[in-house]
């Protein structure tokens, strides 16, 4: 018996201390906050890779700069050597030998100790200067690419957030449709009990209710899928939970003219700036290859002590100026010059093509925005008319001058009108995202969404 009471007391204490499991905190997430998280150093993997590309380009620039900086080496060596003089072309056997003395053919072993500092400095090398300039321009191009990557990430997050908002609105519409179906089912049952309705009308309302319940389940699943995709795009942990604070609504905005929008895009798009830097980089690289034919001037020298041992070493030095003149390398320089010239032409073609693509993106986005504005107006009128139709059909059905088919048809048209309104609002906001992405102002847009 005592053991039994001890067990009960222990179970009660555990139940009080354990308590219910704590649910993970829900993160309120606006579009602005989502983009900030994605663009943070711990956010999107694409942003992190873009930063690494910048570091890589800067190290290449440092490598190119090292060709114009002094180069110093230090060495310490001590060796024991035995030399065959005949192998070095010194044969003393043909000379008359001195009585009592014979010229040796093998010398050693002897020790040599050498400690030395040597250095070199390029005085003039126009090709190396051009390579350094090209490497610095490459850093600028990579930084512009990184800004373009940030814009692309902001665009992806905005699209994922907008898709999540659309699914939120679809879920809300599905709930509203379900509530309407439940109300119409109650009305059909009431009409049947009053003797003014039939069983087929009740069955018809039940079928509509079952369909709306299925649509609600599908909408809930699509909302969760959209939220997970948004969290993955932002860079959040998927075991967490988010609550979207923005809504899918209509925000009228004055669209710029096509000429002004294209001009702004050509001045702000980081992709075009990066491509222009790549053209300049290719031009400088071509110049570096072309000027390899010029002579180069350098300085060299070394200083140290050498001798048979540390205590018997004496200082020695060697320095001078060298002039290197390229003469013939089997045609490698000409081949490299032709290759770099081809790369320069390719980058110029890409720059021209990118300008045309930017103009196309802007014009398509403007057309989509104008069309979306008209769609929103038409969809809003359609919802208002469909709601009026449902209200009038319910009154007629309640008055007994119409059957449930008229109500069901009106209900179906209302659901279609609500879906059209969600699609119109989604297309309108998507067109705004496309326009700002095409103009290179997507980050400013999401900050004011």
Residue 408 belongs to domain with CATH number: 1.20.1600.10
Domain tally for the chain?
1
The pLDDT tens digits for 166-213 are: 999 999 999 998 898 888 888 888 888 877 778 888 888 889 889 989
In a domain, 324, yes or no: no
Residue 99 domain flag: no
* 17 CB-near residues (< 8 Å, 6+ apart): none
Per the structure, the complete domain to which residue 443 belongs is given by 26-73+123-295+332-447
Query: Does any domain span residue 1?
Result: no
End-to-end CA distance of the chain: 69
Is there a domain that residue 13 lies in? no
Look at residue 198 and tell me if it is in a domain: yes
Residues in the chain where the model's pLDDT stays below 50: 1-23
For every residue of the chain, which 3-state class applies, written as one string?
CHHHHHHHHHHHHHHHHHCCCCCCCEEEECHHHHHHHHHCCCCCHHHHHHHHHHHHHHHHHHHHHHCCCCEEEEEEEEEEEEEECHHHCCCCCCCCCCCCCCCCCEEEEEEEEEEEEEEEEEEECHHHHHHHHHHHHHHHHHHHHHHHHHHHHHHHHHHHHHHHHHHHHHHHHHHHHHHHHHHHHHHHHHHHHHCCCCHHHHHHHHHHHHHHHHHHHHHHHHHHHHHHHHHHHHCCCCCCEEEECCCCCCCCCCCCCHHHHHHHHHHHCHHHHHHHHHHHHHHHHHHHHHHHHCCEEEEEEEEEEEECCHHHCEEEEEEEEEEECCCCCCCHHHHHHHHHHHHHHHHHHHHHHHHHHHHHHHHHHHHHHHHHHHHHHHHHHHHHHHHHHHHHHHHHHHHCCCCHHHHHHHHHHHHHHHHHHHHHHHHHHHHHHHHHHHHCCHHHHHHCC
- What pLDDT does 99 receive? 64
Output the pLDDT for position 335.
87
Domain-embedded: residue 131: yes
In the prediction, which pLDDT does 97 show?
60
pLDDT value at residue 17: 42
**Is residue 315 situated within a structural domain?**
no
Question: Does residue 92 lie in a domain region?
Answer: no
């Amino acid at each position: 018996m005592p053991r039994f009471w001890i067990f009960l007391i222990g179970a009660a204490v555990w139940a009080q201390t354990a308590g219910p499991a704590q649910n993970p905190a829900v993160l309120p997430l606006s579009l602005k906050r989502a983009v900030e998280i994605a663009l943070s150093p711990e956010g999107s993997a694409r942003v992190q890779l873009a930063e690494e590309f910048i570091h890589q380009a800067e190290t290449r620039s440092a490598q190119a700069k090292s060709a114009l900086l002094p180069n110093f080496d230090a060495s310490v060596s001590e060796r024991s050597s035995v030399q065959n003089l005949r192998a070095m072309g010194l044969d003393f056997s043909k000379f008359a030998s001195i009585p009592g003395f014979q010229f040796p053919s093998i010398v050693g072993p002897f020790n040599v100790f050498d400690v030395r500092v040597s250095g070199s400095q390029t005085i003039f090398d126009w090709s190396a200067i051009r390579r350094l300039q090209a490497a610095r321009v490459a850093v600028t191009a990579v930084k512009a690419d990184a800004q373009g990557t940030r814009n692309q990430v902001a665009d992806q997050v905005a699209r994922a957030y907008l898709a999540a908002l659309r699914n939120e609105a679809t879920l809300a519409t599905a709930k509203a449709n379900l509530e309407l179906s439940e109300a119409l089912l109650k009305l059909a049952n009431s009409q049947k009990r009053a003797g003014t309705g039939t069983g087929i009308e009740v069955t018809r309302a039940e079928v509509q209710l079952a369909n709306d319940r299925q649509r609600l389940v599908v909408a809930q699943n699509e909302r969760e899928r959209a939220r997970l995709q948004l969290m993955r795009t932002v860079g959040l942990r998927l075991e967490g939970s988010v609550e979207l604070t923005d809504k899918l609504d209509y925000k009228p905005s004055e669209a710029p003219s096509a000429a002004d929008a294209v001009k702004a895009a050509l001045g702000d798009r980081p992709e075009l700036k990066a491509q222009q830097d790549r053209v300049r980089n290719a031009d400088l690289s071509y110049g570096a290859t072309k000027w390899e034919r010029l002579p180069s001037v350098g300085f060299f020298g070394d200083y140290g002590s050498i001798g048979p041992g540390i205590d018997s070493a004496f200082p020695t030095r060697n320095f001078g100026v060298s002039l290197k003149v390229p003469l013939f390398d089997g045609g490698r320089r000409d081949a490299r010059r032709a290759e770099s010239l081809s790369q320069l032409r390719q980058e110029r073609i890409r720059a021209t093509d990118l300008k045309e693509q930017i103009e196309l993106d802007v014009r398509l986005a403007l057309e989509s925005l104008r069309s979306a504005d008209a769609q929103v107006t038409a969809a809003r009128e359609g919802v208002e008319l469909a709601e009026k139709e449902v209200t009038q059909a319910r009154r007629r059905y309640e008055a007994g001058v119409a059957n449930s088919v008229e109500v069901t048809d009106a209900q179906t048209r209302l659901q279609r009108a609500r879906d059209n309104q969600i699609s119109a609002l989604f297309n309108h906001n998507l067109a705004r995202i496309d326009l700002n992405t095409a103009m290179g102002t997507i980050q400013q847009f999401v900050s004011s969404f």
